[in-house]
Structure 1
């Protein structure tokens, strides 16, 4: 099951613990960071890969709106506050939801459901990723998301898509470097696979459209982790 990374920015240790307990009970969320707002925390959050941020407003070193203004990433943001007066300004920042403390478990669940739906929707709206390659002496554009797998062919690689195959002059390492690391994995010295296209797998091979592709023992754990992070 897909889990979504989240962080808590809250100066009250009691409120932070309450949120941590709710997150721990959720099968959809994984907490990766919890702290009060300050410049160092902001720097850490901007380096992280979070989908969802729980953010208090009134904090001593940096308030929630200052923290929001400093974000360079775009997680779904759920404001948690004791004061309703911040709600209007919060939504000016296009936050996902506003939880007025104390809030119920049902209200918490409704907020994270809304946030998760928005994360999924945003991912679906991402434009197609194009890769320019030379095939049969011509430059062609490949839709990266349509690739099923890549197979080594000596000094060439064969890129297999649902519509056709492309034979490209390249090493596997060089081609792998052009792909998104969280979308593709080199599971064997001769194969790179699109994680989204994996239909079934065990610890010996994966299957993509009836093609059985061997898995290197060294890649089993990484493959498990990446597949568990997909929708």
Structure 2
């Protein structure tokens, strides 16, 4: 009896996951073809042959389904970061967590989540309501990354700003690399990782060059701030 019940539960969960994935795929295909504002929830559910009630079991609305792949990516990254070895330096942990997620996504059948994430990126950036929501999600991701780094290092993030500063640096480098990768149009994980590594090499050279440090004295030592 228990085995039968467990199998039934597993079947229901797989069916729910298939429905959720079908809704995401249908919504994003419509958004890319018709535009976000011109697409209705009724059109999304009709494409999957489910009801509006079913849609709202999975998503609060169009905004959430449009950002679903990006949210999945963020979740994978946080999970990968949380299991990095405790003795890794903070930046090493961040970079290796990111590499692990890119590798996992790149090896999915059909390059699913990674490809969809890239296809949606320009749409999100060109749609004000989605861009605003995406920026809110990015801020929350940075907050959670900061908390995780502080936990790993035994720091109080309210008293020690180093985890927050490092997370901000990490996201800045990643944003530049992602923009370059998107513009290049070579949609594979190996090229993305090469682009990210090159961006980090440039950041290291920049910090070592002295170009950024010459103006980093405290403002009160500069007469212009008086």
Taking structure 2 as the reference length, the TM-score comes to 0.25
Higher relative contact order (CA 8 A, sep 6+): 2
Would you tell me which structure has more strand in proportion to its own residues?
A: 1
Higher relative helix content: 2
